[in-house]
Every structure is written in structure tokens, then in C-alpha cells.
Amino acid sequence: MARGGVKIVKDVNKIGELLEALSKPMMKASDVAAINKQINRELDNARKRWDRLVKNGLQFTEAFKRYGFQGRFSLKGKEGQERLAEIQRAARFLQSSTSTISGAISSSKVDTKGLNAKQALTKLKNVNKLMPRVVDAIVD
């Protein structure tokens, strides 16, 4: 239990409960601070996963296509509904099985059905590297 009686939630599925707790009209400042701290922790986890996917060239995963294309997760300069939407986007990204490197590799193994997964990942990385060149050639 954190100070003020607010339980720190470790399960990412319970971000909704944190947001619901924030919407209560009468809360202690320490409770609000504890909830915001937990939300920032979850956003930091989402940012780290996003960075790992980018670092390893795995932007083709389903989780990245759905939730990561808008960039890193951040609450800076966002208020109200924008802030809520960003928190929910991060929560959905964290819940997705392909948001981790191991999940992306295992899903690519299922997708390739018999191909060597390492070869398939190498081919997909090469395609991602060549796409900007192809687009430039088509535009020019």
C-alpha cells in the first residue's frame, strides 16, 4: 500500500482502475500523486518496449503498426482527453503480445510456417530498409 491508502497497481490491465480512481471528486493530493506515479511507470515501460522494437528493426509487428506508429508514448503537453487517449494507447500496446521482442519473433515463426524464423526476420528487415528507396523511385 502506498501512502494515503492507494494500492499501487502492478498489473497493466488495471490502468483503467487507476484512471477511474483519478476521476473521483474528493481525493487526497498524496493519492493523486501515487496514481500519477504508477501511470508514469507504465508509460515508461511502454516507451522502453517501443525503443527495443525500433532498435531491433521490428517495426513490422502488429503492436507497432497499431499503437506505435504515432511515436513514443508521452504525456507532455497533453491534457484531458488527449492525456486519457495516450494512456489507453500505451496500455493496449503493453497488452499486445507482439509488443515484446520475443512475442514478435514467435508471431513471425507462426506467420512463416516452416521457414527459418531468422531468415524471415532478415528478409523483413531488408524490405523495411528498401521501402524508402522504392517510394523515392516511384515519386521521382
In a domain, 119, yes or no: no
Give residue 90's pLDDT.
87
C-alpha cell, 53: 522494437
In a domain, 34, yes or no: yes
In a domain, 108, yes or no: no
In a domain, 52, yes or no: yes
Number of domains in the chain: 1
Give residue 116's pLDDT.
64
Give residue 12's pLDDT.
52
Give residue 113's pLDDT.
60
Q: Domain of 35?
A: 3-99
Three-state secondary structure readout of the chain: CCHHHCCCCCCHHHHHHHHHHHCCCCCCHHHHHHHHHHHHHHHHHHHHHHHHHHHCCCCCCHHHHHHHCCCCCCCCCCCCHHHHHHHHHHHHHHHCHHHCHHHHHHHHHHHHCCCCHHHHHHHHHHHHHHHHHHHHHHHC
In a domain, 137, yes or no: no
Give residue 5's pLDDT.
47
Give residue 115's pLDDT.
58
Task: Show the low-confidence residues of the chain (pLDDT under 50).
Answer: 1-10
pTM of the model: 0.60
